[in-house]
Structure 1
Amino acid sequence: MPIKGQKNAQKTQKSDSPVQQANEGAMLTADASEANQASVSSELVSHPDVMSAIKSMQTDFASRFDSLLNAIRGVQNEIQLIATRVSQTEDRIGNNEDDIATLKKDNCTLKGELEALTRKVDDLENRSRRSNLRLVGLPEKAEGRDMCSFLVKWIPEVLGTVSFPGPLIIERAHRIGRPPEADSAATGPAPRPRAVVMKFLNYADKTRVMRAAREMGTVLYEGKKVMFFPDISSELLKQRKTYDPVKKLLASFSIPDLRFGIIHPAKLLVTHKGKRHVFDNASQANVFAQQFKEEGGYP
């Protein structure tokens, strides 16, 4: 008869036998797998073509990987170079913007100075011509050989000696431009005679001539109309010409006591019934002329 402790040990051995069997089976499976891998490895090692292909793949992969790394390094270098150049470009653009701002400021200053100097030069030019008169319409060769002697004698005769208490003194006088006969290609009607510019020694004599010519209205030389004008610069002449439309409009009113004219340097003076009005630009004068027309007198 078995002992009680032995029976319990036998029961324990019987109860543990399935687990042990499973572990033993797993160990056997692992051993079998390792054995299979070892056998496969031994077979691969023993096959020279397979090993050669593997080595070739490894070499090809290594070369491609190296080329990829080199390409990445090249891209990185180019990116760094581009970043450096972009930074330099930004600095240069910033410097250029600062220089442009400075140049714009200087340009505005120089422009203002140039305009001021231009006005001064034009004013000086017109001041140097204050004693000059321009005679338009005098036929060619009417003066003979001495223009000054002709004008000193002819002007008092045609304008009246009463306006000239003393003899006129003309420093110099000459025609402007090329003689008409110098242009051999000119055809058709006779060309207009060249204008005559004369310089008086005294400004008062020039004023007397202008006043006498204005009072006479129409001045003739051998039946041909001649006109006296102040000698001014081309820039001032342009400014005065801006009043021409207004002057034509005022002249169309046909009002006997309406007087208008240009005063120095380029202002329009309108006089009506003893009232005077001076305009600094043509737009103001045009507004005044329209109101004058509508209201029939000073607005």
Structure 2
Amino acid sequence: MISMTLGYMTNYHQVDKSSLYSPDGVWKISKLSKSSACGDIKRHLRSHGANAMMQDQDEANEHEQQQANDIETKLSPLITRLDDVEKRVEHLEMTEKDWQANPPASKTDVRQIWDKLEDMENRLRRNNVRFVGFPEGREGGDAVKFLEELLPNLLDREGRREIEQAHRVASQRPTPGDRPRLILARFLRLSDWDAVLRAARNKGKLSWGNSTVMLFPDYPRATKMKRDKFRECKKKLHELGVSFRMLFPAKLRIETSEGEKAFDCPRKAKAFRDAMQ
């Protein structure tokens, strides 16, 4: 209103005062007043409208900023996970390149390596015999001499069987009343190893003093498990009166009227045995 009044006063001074009281002067004053008031009103509306628009724009900007903040908050974990995925993919790509440059062994390669290691162990232990039942300490300090001297009487076989080395298995000495430790002996010649085991098998029960003595080949665990799978088949062959023999390391040889048949698969040996009945 103050601006409107000032405007009116400004317009009033622009009018010739000598004509104020004429009809035409009154009309001019009225026209100037209306024109000034309209201009002030328009300026007032423009000012308030601009302020309102600026306030609305500020509110809109604030709302958009809040939405952007919410979106950023939700995207932050996803971005972190994406970074982690990228790192893992990069690691896998590097690993694949390493594998391509140095490919790992396949199952076939591992099987071949395992078979070679098993064969090496079998050969290293081929001439070994495990003596079970000799009382603890009876061998004195020389187990080789002890076995070489008693074997002819134990097996009822003449001739000296040369033993390369022999010792008690396990380091801790058993207490009185416990089972004595076995003696592991390695024969110098494979022929002596075979002759000793064959003689022990043919004689049956072996006695030394008041002790029962048993002899076993020193097979690795894997080889022993393979040989044990033929146990049922060997039992049935024995009942049928069929001659057979286990070959090293784990092969069953069956004697027939048509010749000998050798099997390294227990299932095939069983099928052949069943066909003989």
TM-score range, shorter chain: 0.5 to 0.7
Question: What does residue 116 of structure 1 align with?
Answer: 112
Equivalent in the alignment of 1:245 = 232
2: CA distance, partners of 1:144 / 1:73: 92
Q: Does 1:65 align with 2:52?
A: no
- TM-score relative to the length of structure 2: 0.67
Q: 153, 173, 177: which is aligned to 1:179?
A: 173
CA distance in 2, matches of 1:136, 1:142: 13
Q: Secondary structure at the match of 1:161?
A: coil
Partner of 2:244: 260
Which 5+ residue runs of structure 1 have no aligned equivalent?
Answer: 1-37, 183-189
Counterpart code for 1:131: N
Residue of structure 1 in register with 2:267 after alignment: 283
1:34-82 alpha-carbon deviations (Å, 9 max, x no partner): xxxx99x94992997x888645532321202333454677789899999
Distance 1:103 1:255, change over 3 A: farther
Task: Give the corresponding residue for 1:200.
Answer: 187
Matches within 5 A, 1:1-299: 42=38, 45=41, 54-68=49-63, 70=65, 95=90, 98=93, 109=105, 111-162=107-158, 164=159, 167-177=160-170, 178-181=172-175, 190-222=177-209, 224-251=211-238, 254-256=239-241, 258-273=242-257, 275-289=259-273, 291-292=274-275, 295-296=276-277
Q: Output the CA distance in 1 between the equivalents of 2:82 and 2:42.
A: 62
Give the direction of change, closer, same or farther, for the CA distance of 1:260–1:142 in structure 2 (3 Å limit): farther
Give the counterpart letter for 2:60 in structure 1: F
Distance 1:146 1:109, change over 3 A: closer
Alpha-carbon displacement from aligned partner over 1:201-246 (angstroms, at most 9, x marks no partner): 2222222212222222332223543222222222222222232333
For structure 2, list consecutive stretches of 5 or more residues without a partner in the other structure. Answer: 1-33
Tell me the CA shift for residue 268 of structure 1: 1.9
Does the 8 A contact of 1:44 with 1:51 survive in 2?
no
Q: Which amino acid aligns with 1:285?
A: A
Per the TM alignment, residue 274 of structure 1 is displaced from its structure 2 partner at its CA by 6.7
Aligned to 2:202, what secondary structure does the other structure show? helix
TM-score after normalising by structure 1: 0.62
Q: Identity across aligned pairs (percent)?
A: 24
Change (3 A) 1:101 1:279: farther
Give the Cα–Cα distance (whole angstroms) in 1 for the partners of residues 140 and 84 of structure 2: 75
Return the letter of the residue paired with 1:174. Answer: H
Root-mean-square deviation (CA, aligned residues, Å) is 4.2
For 2:190 and 2:127, the matched residues in 1 are separated by 5
Structure 1 position 122, deviation (Å) = 2.4
1:15 corresponds in structure 2 to none
CA distance 1:63–1:210, change in 2 (3 Å) = same
Classify 1:97/1:232 alpha carbon distance in 2 versus 1 (closer, same or farther; 3 Å).
same
Distance, in Å, in 1 between the alignment partners of 2:204 and 2:248 is 21
